[in-house]
Amino acid sequence: KKTILSGIQPSGKLHIGNYFGAIRQHIAMQEEGEAFYFIANYHSLTSLNDGEKLRENTIDVTLDYLALGLDPKKATFFAQSDVPQVTELAWILGTLTPVSLMEKGVSYKDKIAAGLSPNIGLFTYPILQAADILIYHSDIVPVGEDQKQNIEITRDLAGKFNYAYEGEYLKIPEEHIVKSVAVVPGIDGRKMSKSYDNTINIFAEGKQLKKRVMSIETDSTPLDDPKDPENDNVFALIKLFADKEKQDEIAEKYRAGGYGYGHAKKELLGMIEDYFGEAREKRREMAKDLDYVHDVLREGGKKARERAEEVMEPIREVAGIVNHR
Ligand code: ATP
Ligand code: MG
């Protein structure tokens, strides 16, 4: 059985970019292999310094996954910080990482450009991510297109370690990217991202959801004029929710004219409400019993730790990191 590994940052509420780019695949893949999914709380410290918020987000992310169909009997779901071997391996990998490799990091540059503080954690983010992946001998990493380079770095670092210590200590993973939803645009047209404040959250509802959808940026083509669906953020999002037939129908209306962006937004709003309706109910129920949520994380953490220790032990050994406990 293949080992599938992926993580998500608890840096804010999960959004439809996370869902179509990652979570949906995570949930589907729990049927196919041995899946490990974790909440990247150490990673989120690079953009969030609020303990209360981080604690809250961690539980929120867990509730989201469970409501969206994650089955903890099939997939191991846990918090990154419950596996200390990850930070241990990250340090060791860091000693083999050329500074120039990090300097080429696209997501670092993107985040700095978006106004995040250029801290060392953000700079070495891909090293910690590599440790997350490599510590379970992962085969497949389902992610969005934005993560492609980070997975390449992971492969690179695994290779560097194996070369330096002359053995197959770390397994070289492959990414799994679903092309049609590779990058979900946010309401401002940039990549939808928690740290850009341009998201539509999966579990937003009522007025709040409506306000978000209505503020999707569009061009200023007048209502009566024909519009190009392939050049519009609203249509890009509609495509995620509608089947082919419905997509064609709406594209036709765009091209005919007399159909405004406001109409398209209303259509999209209804689609979002329907699509996540059932999960929203389930989440509401689950939020009443947080003990279960904590149990899931505790048990997931235990399983992940055991697995990580199996990989870490020979690494310490070969690197000469002596344990005096
Ligand atoms: P942050 O802004 O804190 O980086 P994020 O919203 O980008 O948060 P991550 O936790 O970095 O979310 O990513 C979680 C998963 O969701 C990753 O696999 C990533 O590829 C995917 N993902 C994030 N944003 C998008 C998007 N706009 N389109 C498709 N996939 C996405
Ligand atoms: Mg991101």
Phi first, then psi: give them for residue 190, nearest 5 degrees.
-75, 170
CA dist., res. 271 & res. 274, Å (int): 5
238, 264 contact by CB (below 8 A): yes
| Lookup: tokens for 279 | 């999960």
In DSSP terms, which residues pair with 190 in a beta bridge? none
CA dist., res. 120 & res. 142, Å (int): 26
Amino acid at 324: H
194 assigned to a ligand binding site: yes
pLDDT of residue 102: 97
**Does any ligand 1 atom lie closer than 6 A to the CB of residue 21?**
yes
Starting from the edge strand earliest in sequence, which strands make up the sheet with 174-176, in order? 75-79, 34-39, 3-8, 140-142, 174-176
Does the interface predicted TM-score (ipTM) exceed 0.90?
A: yes
Hey, which residues are catalytic here? 111, 191, 194
CA dist., res. 140 & res. 143, Å (int): 10
Q: Compute, in angstroms, the gap from residue 23 CA to the centroid of ligand 1.
A: 10
Q: For residue 20, what are the contacts with CB-CB under 8 A and spacing of at least 6?
A: 181, 184, 240
Among the bound ligands, the one closest to the CA of 143? 1
Measured N-to-C along each axis, helices 277-286 and 51-68 cross at an angle, to the nearest 10 degrees, of 120
Q: How far is CA 60 from CA 119, 202, 233, 315, in A?
A: 26, 12, 27, 34
Bridge pairing between strands 34-39 and 3-8: parallel
- Total residue length of the chain: 325
128, 42 contact by CB (below 8 A): yes
Atom of ligand 1 nearest to the CA of 147: 20
pLDDT of residue 51: 98
pLDDT of residue 182: 75
Cα three-residue angle 48-27-270, rounded to 5 degrees: 80
136, 304 contact by CB (below 8 A): yes
pLDDT of residue 190: 93
Answer CATH for 3-184+290-319 from 3.30.1130.10, 3.40.50.620, 3.90.1150.10, 3.20.20.70: 3.40.50.620
Q: What is the CATH number of domain 204-275?
A: 1.10.240.10
CA dist., res. 201 & res. 34, Å (int): 28
18 assigned to a ligand binding site: yes
Q: Whose CA is nearest to atom 22 of ligand 1?
A: 18
**Does any ligand 1 atom lie closer than 6 A to the CB of residue 129?**
no
In the chain, the largest separation of any two C-alpha atoms, in whole Å, equals 76
Per-residue pLDDT tens, the chain, 325 aa: give them.
999 999 999 999 999 999 998 899 999 999 999 999 999 999 999 999 999 999 999 999 999 999 999 999 999 999 999 999 999 999 999 999 999 999 999 999 999 998 889 999 999 999 999 999 999 999 999 888 889 999 999 999 999 999 999 999 999 999 998 887 778 999 999 999 987 889 999 999 999 999 999 999 999 999 999 999 999 999 999 999 999 999 999 999 999 999 999 999 999 999 999 999 999 999 999 999 899 999 999 999 999 999 999 999 999 999 999 888 7
> In 43-152, where do the E strands start and end?
75-79, 140-142
pLDDT of residue 144: 80
pLDDT of residue 323: 81
CA dist., res. 205 & res. 222, Å (int): 29
CB neighbour class for 273 (10 Å; exposed up to 12, middle 13-18, buried from 19)? middle
Among the bound ligands, the one closest to the CA of 196? 1
Domain borders along the chain are 3-184+290-319, 204-275
Q: Compute, in angstroms, the gap from residue 103 CA to the centroid of ligand 1.
A: 21
* Helix residue ranges per DSSP H, 196-260: 206-214, 233-241, 244-256
pLDDT of residue 194: 86
pLDDT of residue 131: 98
Atom of ligand 1 nearest to the CA of 146: 20
pLDDT of residue 108: 94
CA dist., res. 195 & res. 10, Å (int): 11
Q: Considering only CA atoms, which of 137, 114, 136, 110 is closest in space to residue 125?
A: 110
Q: Compute, in angstroms, the gap from residue 165 CA to the centroid of ligand 1.
A: 34
208 assigned to a ligand binding site: no
Atom of ligand 1 nearest to the CA of 181: 29
First to last CA, the chain: 34
